[in-house]
Structure 1
Amino acid sequence: MKLVRYGAEGAEKPGMLDATGHVRDLSGLIDDVGGNALLPDSITRLAGIDPASLPLVTGTPQENLRLGACVGGIGKFICIGLNYADHAAEAGMDIPAEPIIFSKWTSAVCGPNDPIQVPRGSTKTDWEVELGVVIGQGGSYIDEANAMDHVAGFCVVNDVSERDFQLNRSGTWDKGKGCDTFGPTGPWLVTPDEISNVNDLSMWLDVDGVRMQSGSTSTLIFKVPHLISYCSQFMSLQPGDVISTGTPPGVGMGQNPPRFLHGGETVSLGIEGLGQQTNVVLPSA
């Protein structure tokens, strides 16, 4: 099952993709794709609905029908740093002994085809294709063996980053991670039954049609169950929280010479089975 949020920014409605790739309206059944609507009982109930029985939404998603972020009202946007060995190498950093956790501010969240805005004063805005894990059943101190029972679905995330803010402006990485539009999320939330092996999904990112990142979740250092269990040791996880699990090599700061986004570029990215995003980059205001 693929769940979406469609419509104008700030007024998105919940929907479900049908077999033809068109959106069916779920607003008569749930208020949003988020929160308690992502609990296991709710997901099971939605999965039992024939999409053809729901109202058809006019338009084609990602063409003439805007999609918002596939999760509404995200409570926590948790990110994992240096979770691919080859990305750590290109960054010149050691493989971490434990997962590196940082946060994106939820005001960074935007739709999968919304513009990315280069922030004022930016010199090193960068890209990162990542697997997003959306929490369904919350909890604390989750056992790794049961961690996948807490997953409502998966999605594509672009962990857009300003490297100068992140690395050179003192303090934590968060400064360079949470600027407005730095969290394109979606296009859809894909439930786990549609993904045969989340630890073997190909992923890619292009800038102006040139392939920059090409990788696979098979090279994750810390796998999804471990990340869920680990994060839950430090915070309670709640329905609709998103964990963005790290990026493979090919980011802008890893190029020789480094390459960054300044405005005018088009960034396209995707993950096998989870759809793709395309974002125009706007120069700083």
Structure 2
Amino acid sequence: MSFHNGEIAVQTKVGVRSEAERLSGGIRNFINPAAEKFLPTQQLAIASSVDVEGRVWASLLLGEPGFVRVLNEKTAQVHPSFPINDLLYSNLQNNSQVGLLVIDLTNRRRLRLNGKAQVERKGIINLEIQQVFFNCPKYIQVRHLETSTTESPSQSQILTKTALSNSDRDWISQADTFFIASFNPESGADASHRGGNRGFVQLMNNNKLIFPDYAGNNMFQTFGNFVKNPNSGILFVDFERGHTLQLTGKSQVIWDANNLSEFSGAERLVEFDIQQVLEIRHATPWCWKFGEYSPVNP
């Protein structure tokens, strides 16, 4: 698979163009046997989608093993149990491009599937594959699913805001994991994972946060999308209580940050300007127990 010009521009700027080309051989346009074996065992995924105003969102999807299943090498089907109130389904009616990150927190494995979605009855999503590839296990904190049930979450509450509240700021300042969604109108949507030690995300004010970019796989799909379209989405998950915090806004890569030394291990920074906040309390009754930090966290 070839990279789009936004990805190529970032790879060239960082000086990893040849390595990225070598790694591109692992990006397939079909579900290979390794991915086909991995998917039916998973229970957690993150989806990237675009709303009618062009804003990008990251959504949490959960289900019992098999909620993501392979129909054939070009099609996967997603049938999540919850969250049931997420805006993903309405977004896909507007724009069929979707990025799906299926992640195993216990074993530090993650697979990205990007393509076009068709929403069927009862919230079932059929995904026509355009890209499939595994990512390395870097910066994934181990977590173990403690409760798993198909029952709908009780007393789910949706809060829409234009800025972060004090409780949101406390949540983000303690986070060790988040997920980021990006979108290139020419190549589609993508969802990715970011992790570090607690406090690796810093708040500038109620509408801006900043986070470090550590050494990764050098393909720069997310940053390449930022070059073409800064609209992006961030998802924080309260793994202990089942709440979600979805932010949509614009991302800007800071290549020569004066305060880079304040972020241990950072190679560059990303500023995220928040346009809207969507908090879902009790989005899921599931909870995860923290295991251990990634050994490569700075």
The TM-score normalised by the length of structure 2 is 0.30
Q: Higher strand share goes to which structure?
A: 2
